[in-house]
């Protein structure tokens, strides 16, 4: 049986960025990102102000690890249809535990 809770705990663990960029660790950070808004740094341009107004309280009331885990989950979940059949089967097990889903939806047709 697939242990989704262990997988979620693994997502919250400290890891390097897959593209070699900024670390996913709370103590890490890309120098360009850390310099944003400071002297010599680039300005921060926000196109969706309403989103950031709602994001602020979430970041203030949740741990860095929890926010990072959520962002990782959003990334993996949004890429789900493109991932392996094994991943989709595991996702069904997770959603069965959380939502009571009994079977996975048909895969969308891929056009290349």
Q: What angle do CA 103, 108, 112 make, to 5 degrees?
A: 150
Within-domain flag for 45: yes
Rounded Cα–Cα distance for residues 66 and 13 (Å) = 10
Rounded Cα–Cα distance for residues 18 and 21 (Å) = 7
Question: Is the whole model's pTM more than 0.75, yes or no?
Answer: no
Within-domain flag for 86: no
Range of the domain at 18: 4-78
Check residues 97 and 14 and name the one with the higher pLDDT: 97
How many domains does one find in the chain? Answer: 1
The distance of Cα 8 from the centroid of its chain, to the nearest Å, equals 11
Within-domain flag for 20: yes
Within-domain flag for 89: no
Q: What angle do CA 57, 59, 64 make, to 5 degrees?
A: 160
| Residue 107 confidence (pLDDT) | 65
Within-domain flag for 71: yes
Within-domain flag for 47: yes
Rounded Cα–Cα distance for residues 94 and 111 (Å) = 28
What would the pLDDT profile of 7-50 be if each residue is shown by its tens digit? 555 555 555 555 554 445 545 555 666 677 778 877 766 677 78
For range 75-101, the mean pLDDT: 79
């Amino acid at each position: 049986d697939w242990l989704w809770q262990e997988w979620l705990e693994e997502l919250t663990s400290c890891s390097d960025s897959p593209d070699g960029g900024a670390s996913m660790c709370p103590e890490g950070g890309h120098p360009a990102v850390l310099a944003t808004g400071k002297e010599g740094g680039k300005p921060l341009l926000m196109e969706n102000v309403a989103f950031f107004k709602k994001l602020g309280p979430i970041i203030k009331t949740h741990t860095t690890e929890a926010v990072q885990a959520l962002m990782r989950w959003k990334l993996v979940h949004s890429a789900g249809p493109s991932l392996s059949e094994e991943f989709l089967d595991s996702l069904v097990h997770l959603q069965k535990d959380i939502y009571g889903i009994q079977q996975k939806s048909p895969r969308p047709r891929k056009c290349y």
